[in-house]
Amino acid sequence: MVKIGEGIEVREELIKKACNLAMEAHNLSPEKPYIYKKINGSTDVVFAFAGTLSFDGWYSNTSFGETEINTTLFPSLRSVGTDEVAKVNEAFARRFQDILDKSSLKNEVEKAMSKGRHVVFAGHSSGGAIAILAALWCLECCRTRPEGDMLVHLYCMTFGSPLVGNKIWSHALRRENWARYFIHFVMKYDIVPRMMLAPLSSIQELLQAISPFINPKSQYYQRDAVARSSNALNFFMTVMRNASSAASYAACNLKGCTNLLLETVSNIVQLSPYIPFGTYIFCTGNRKLVVVENPDAVLQLLFYSSQLSSEAEAAVVVARSLNDHLLYTNEMQDSLEMQDVIHLNNLTDIPLSSNVDPSDEVASMNSALNDLGLSTRARLCLRAAGEWEKQKKKNEEKIEQNKSSIRDALSKIQEYQTKCDIHKVGYYDAFKIQNTDDDFNANVKRHELAGIWNEIIEMLKRYELPDSFEGQKDWIELGTQFRRQVEPLDIANYYRHLKNEDSGPYLIRGRPKRYRFTQRWLEHFDKVHAGARSESCFWAEVEELRNKPFAQVQNKILSLETAANGWIQSSLLGDDVFFPESTYTKWWKTLPTQHKQTSWVSRKITP
């Protein structure tokens, strides 16, 4: 067994079989886009996707070929808080959609999963990109089903795959705890996993010129002449120059650089949107495997592990940058037999010097890093990635300390609500009037909670918390409790000060991000329709409707009453809505008699 990550082990034979099938898939005809193979003597099945070397199979018309992902097919690939949609390579997404629509893939995968098979999606080169999308599609399907344990029966293995998605993509997969299902093997000099770091305009002609040399169906396949080709050299140097820009910019951010020049450069230089995700296994070329899970560290390794140590080795490295892409079958055979696997889990402990005492506990790690050709600068960048990961965890620990303060403040708000109910004045209306010390104290707690949650939301917006934070059930529940109890007070304060007259309706102009974020958390993880009407905004809708002529808003009133009925049945709205002196009751009594006679609300409000 090869230990890939915490609690994840994969059989060597399965990796070898997936690799063999991924390479074999290149020989398929265009009508057959993948191989479906049941592995004898096991419950494993492999779907191996064919790659393509046609230019439109790699790039679309934008600088880096990216587009927003289809959220109907991949609803989880977005930032829950900011609602920003992930970017994906458009050509890969289009090709996968075509396979899904025109082949038997969907039926074959569903049949295998229903039988409890261990499904492996595999691909070499651009076939790896299709395998990634297929695995994600499968995970999305599993997410909507009650049999959640099916998720552990899935892997995606790629060999020399290009990058596919952006930062939101990587963030979403770590949030959903799906990144662990993706295992990417990368040869030290293979240029294809780095290729998407260069814009289309810089490599289009070069890629078209060299593609015949790495196309198994071409008469020029694997010809030695490619090593001497100026096109190959220019292609390699162009890709690595852009990789340098991407890695350097990312490293500066990891190290906390605040120089305004950095932002200026990013506005001038085209930087690739693509970011690694999942577990990367770098093949050093000396039968060692280096396992890295930190996406920031992987980006640095993609650049630094392919550096030239001298101009004299340029021809050899350029040749290997293309040849390595075709040698994964042999590499898997040799490296997996050696079982020399190094895990870069503690990035901050990476030795900065290439010279380490052989008896030192980090000697084996250092040997692997030397095999990858990592300089001191490269090691510093890896350490920076580790430090940033640690800082995120420290930020989370700091936020965790606020939980008791949040719960105490919410308890006080609940006491305030209960006290108001006793006096038959709903806490919304009591807070809006602000006549007592209790109202003042509730306002103090509202401000305390706003400060805590605003800090959390800003950290999430800047990605200063672990990606898994948004997926933590206790925080989702606490955020929902906060929104439901406190947002009515914010609405009361908004309309008490007539802010709607200056700024506009609360729902459009006044709703704070802390409530929008926490609502989207619940919608995402409870699989509620995104953008659904929120029970915590009931009073905001009432305030806007009651100041408009009935004929103008009749349909909206009926819609609100229908929603309110459901919220009351679910105990999301209380009977304080119908107290005699509530804003809602007073307004409802002014509605036309014909409407009131047909409304269910008449059973709640005494004429």
Burial of residue 41, with CB atoms counted within 10 A of its CB: 0-12 exposed, 13-18 middle, 19 or more buried: exposed
Burial code (b: 16+ CB inside 10 Å, e: under 16) for 375-412 equals eeebbbbbbbbbebbeebeebbeebeebeeebeebbeb
State how far the Cα of 299 lies from the Cα of 443, in Å rounded to an integer.
47
Angle between helices 90-102 and 105-114 in degrees, nearest 10: 80
For residue 502, what are the CA distances in angstroms to 209, 398, 493, 541, 549? 62, 37, 14, 17, 21
For residue 538, CA distances in Å to 60, 484, 577 come to: 45, 10, 10
For residue 163, the 8-state DSSP code is P
Q: Which of 166, 146, 95, 154 is nearest to 119 (CA)?
A: 154
**Cβ neighbours of residue 45 under 8 Å, at least 6 residues apart?**
36, 37, 38, 39, 112, 117, 118, 119, 120
Strand ranges for 239-370 from DSSP E = 279-283, 288-292, 340-343
**Catalytic hit among 325, 335, 343, 536:** 325
Strand partners, 85: 78
Residue 278 and residue 173: Cα distance in Å, rounded?
8
> Cα dist. 183→4, 175, 236 in Å?
8, 17, 25
d(CA 512, CA 520): 13
Question: Residue 357 catalytic?
Answer: no
Length of the chain: 607
Two tokens, residue 120: 């492996």
Helix ranges (H only) for 309-375 are 314-323, 328-338, 363-371
Reading the block at residue 560, the tokens are 């609100």
The span from the CA of 406 to the CA of 478, in Å, is 8
Marked catalytic residue, from 79, 153, 190, 582: 190
Q: Can you tell me the distance from the alpha carbon of 318 to that of 237, in angstroms, rounded to the nearest whole number?
A: 9
Nearest to 192 by CA among 123, 289, 291: 123
Q: Which two tokens stand for residue 332?
A: 């898997």
287 backbone φψ class: left, alpha, beta (φ>0; ψ -120 to 50): left
| CA distance linking residue 411 with residue 37, whole number of Å | 58
Active site annotation includes 325: yes
**Active-site position among 26, 76, 79, 125:** 125
Q: Is 190 tagged catalytic?
A: yes
CA 316 remoteness from chain centre:
38
* Catalytic residue numbers, as ranges: 125, 190, 325
